Amino acid sequence: MFYHMTEAQVIIFGLIFLRMISFVVSSVVFGSGNISVPIKILLAVVVSMVVFPSVQLATTDAAKLTEDLVLLSAREVAVGLSLGFLTRLFFFTVGMAGELVSVTIGLGQAQIYNPMLGSNSNTVEQFYNTLATLIFFAINGHHLVLGGIAQSYELIPLAQMKFNVGPFAEMATFVQDMMVMGIKMCAPVIGAVLVTNIAMGILGRAVPQINVLVTSVPVTLLIGFVLMFICIPLLVMEMHGIMDLTHTKLVLVMKALAF
């Protein structure tokens, strides 16, 4: 098939590749800095070749496609980046929960490089992201991501000038839902540390000889770490819920972008 492609088919394959490479660069796992650029390009080319035979086109007129090629290319890049951003929200939510836990128990200054997000993050956030990565692959999240971008060629057809910007408001609501779920993930630790700080304050007023500022640090760390490990099953359940919500919102956004 690829040896006897017409001009229109070459253009269509280029549009497929543009959406795919934009998605790969901005997606959650495949866009990681640990993965080299040639591997990302190769992945986008291979998946594009797999998807290409099944893509249904509204038009195969090469002249029409060439006339609007710049706008069609920009549309595909925008679609790929938008869908890739949605997949990143899973790790953004988990990272936010880890950041809140770390600041609450007093480890906010312990910063290390996070290759998943390409920025510095604290140790607790790194632990949460590592756990989220293991769960992501355990529940075949990478299959959902690739399946979602492959399904996008059916829900958002190629070679059309339609592009509805309404779903971007839905994406903002989705970010709000993710923030709420992130707060739920770290709520037990935050609540326990708050009660501990109140108790230490009362103890400091009752027994002035105790240096509360020095004593509260190891107590807060101990309670925070104990609760953090006790709540790991709850954390895993929330991660499953976030992954399901991400897949559902991804499909809804793809349907809305085309209409």
Q: Is 61's pLDDT higher than 60?
A: no
- Running DSSP on this structure, what letter comes out for residue 59? -
CA distance 142 to 17: 19
Q: What are the two backbone dihedrals, phi and then psi, of residue 119, each rounded to the nearest 5 degrees?
A: -150, 175
Position 234 scores a pLDDT of 81
Label residue 206 exposed, middle or buried (CB < 10 Å: 0-12, 13-18, 19+): exposed
Region for residue 111 given its phi and psi (left: phi exceeds 0; alpha: psi -120 to 50; beta: otherwise): beta
How confident is the model over 158-188, as pLDDT tens digits?
A: 767 666 666 666 677 777 777 888 888 888 8
Angle at 31 between CA 234 and CA 182, to 5 degrees: 25
Q: Is 121's pLDDT higher than 80?
A: no
Let me know how long the chain is.
259
Structure confidence at residue 118 as a pLDDT band (50, 70, 90): low
Least confident of 28-32, 41-45, 160-164: 160-164
Which one of 78-82, 106-110, 156-160 scores highest in mean pLDDT? 78-82
Q: Is 232's pLDDT higher than 60?
A: yes
